[in-house]
Amino acid sequence: MPDSLLCLRFFILPHTAPHMDTRKIRLIMELRHQGIRDTKVLSAIETVPRELFVPDHHENQAYENRALSIGAGQTISQPQIVAVMTQALQLNDRHKVLEVGTGSGYQAAILASLCRRLYTIERHKSLLAEAEKRFETLGVRNITAIVGDGMKGWWEQAPFERIIVTAAAQYKVPSSLMEQLAPNGLLVIPIERSTGDQVLRLYRKESEDTYAMKDLMPVRFVPLLPEVAQ
């Protein structure tokens, strides 16, 4: 049985309240209305308890379709963005995935339930420590996480069939990430354009120096920054 299926069993917590289930159902219906059709992605969002990934004072907003602050100047993305990015990756349980920007760990938990192995990089030590505690609580065993410079990727584990970046790169994808993407691999990333706005962009690696590109939707992410945060 794939690791992803084993992990998924641990996401259902016995103390989940009935009103939380109602809010989840409303959220799933909203995501369907917004064009999320991948049933595996919708199932992951329904199953992973988002309330564990937000600060206590935001718990009552966990299933609203909005971004929430998680400290260190970072946010947990709104469920719609998580769903769009995850759906764009077209994941299966054979894929090895790189995530740049662990944050609260919510996107990582969604990805881990759909892929074989997830490698995730976070530049804020405090955020990564909290995310790893959540992975442990949920019994997730197919995530490997480090503190580091996500713009450099993770050469020791490359290549990756899928790469996801949860912060906005300025004008273009960092070259290290493109080089670590496997042939026919997919990469989804927010890009800040010269006009100052941001667009969520999907890349497919067709050869070593050729990529197909598709703009998915306008977004607003924190900037992708180098080095480990002090």
Catalytic residues: 77
CA 63 to chain centre: 17
Determine the Cα–Cα distance for residues 210 and 157; give it in Å rounded to an integer: 22
Which are the contacts of 216, defined by CB distance < 8 A and separation ≥ 6?
84, 88, 188, 199, 200, 201, 202
CA distance 230 to 216: 33
Of the candidates 155, 133, 158, the residue with the CA atom closest to the CA atom of residue 143: 133
